[in-house]
Amino acid sequence: TATAVIVTRDSLLNVCMDAKHHKTEPGPEGQLYGQCVLWKDNACCTANTSMEAHQDQSYLYNFNWDHCGAMPEKCKRHFIQDTCLYECSPNLGPWIDQADTSWRKERIRDVPLCQEDCEQWWEDCQDAVTCKVNWHKGWNWTTGTNQCPKGAMCQKFKFVFPTPAALCEQIWSGSYRYTSHHRGSGRCIQMWFDPTQGNPNIAVAQYYA
């Protein structure tokens, strides 16, 4: 029935995924920090999470960006932004999927990322260095933080991820999908936006829901 369709659709809008640090439902967070401030009007993250998103090896996941040497700042800001989107956005409902890990029940899959966001990320990170294609698994965690597995060679992103699509789609095992949609098209999620213009991702979630 039409009612059932509406209920299902609404359950995909303005929601937080069931994961390690997410609030159960979105709401205003006046104190969001740094790059996460874009979501302060309606966020799935707490102020504390937003602050930790900016730390190297934060307690969020004990993840070390600098596993092959220092990641350049212009590259790191994209990873901070990616963390803010993941932790704070209430507009990822259409892409929430079951996760089979101990630390979260849900994850995102195939979020259609705007072409510019993906290309800028690749552009700014092409000379950063890593030893792995998929950063979700396969690390050596014996020290409590991720280190390159034995025999993995550190090389520049541009060799590990030869295209922007490879970076966006492979690094978090399919969380994002590269699209040819442009920012402002209403067809793709923006990792970056101007909060004074409102959150463009609300309309995108509605379109895909």
In a domain, 4, yes or no: no
> Residue 50 is encoded by which pair of tokens?
């937003």
In a domain, 148, yes or no: yes
DSSP state of 36: G
DSSP state of 95: G
In a domain, 42, yes or no: yes
How far apart, in whole angstroms, are the C-alpha atoms of residue 161 and residue 127?
Answer: 11
Whether pLDDT at 176 is above 60:
yes
Q: Where are the alpha helices (DSSP H) in the chain?
A: 2-10, 47-52, 73-88, 115-125, 157-160, 164-170, 201-208
Quick one: angle between helices 115-125 and 73-88, nearest 10? 140
Longest dimension (CA), the chain: 56
In a domain, 99, yes or no: yes
In a domain, 3, yes or no: no
Average pLDDT value over all residues in the chain = 94
DSSP 44-69: SS-HHHHHHTTSTT-TTT---TTBTB
Q: What is the structure's pLDDT at 5?
A: 60
> Residue 181 is encoded by which pair of tokens?
């949609």
Q: What is the structure's pLDDT at 151?
A: 95
DSSP state of 176: E
DSSP state of 189: B
**Taking the CB of residue 41, how many other CB atoms lie within 10 A of it?**
16
Q: How do 111-113 and 129-130 pair as beta strands? A: unpaired
Assess contact for 113 and 179: CB atoms under 8 A: yes
In a domain, 170, yes or no: yes
In a domain, 2, yes or no: no
The amino acid that residue 88 corresponds to is: C
pLDDT tier at 56, thresholds 50, 70, 90: confident
Q: Distance of alpha carbon 125 from its chain centroid, rounded?
A: 15
Residue with tokens 């934060």: 58
In a domain, 119, yes or no: yes
DSSP state of 181: P
Whether pLDDT at 92 is above 80:
yes
What pTM, to 2 d.p., does this model score? 0.94
How far apart, in whole angstroms, are the C-alpha atoms of residue 22 and residue 50?
Answer: 11
For residue range 59-73, list pLDDT tens digits in order: 788 999 999 999 999
Residue with tokens 């507009």: 91
Domain count for the chain: 1
Question: What phi and psi values does residue 189 have, to the nearest 5 degrees?
Answer: -80, 130
Domain encompassing residue 102 = 9-208
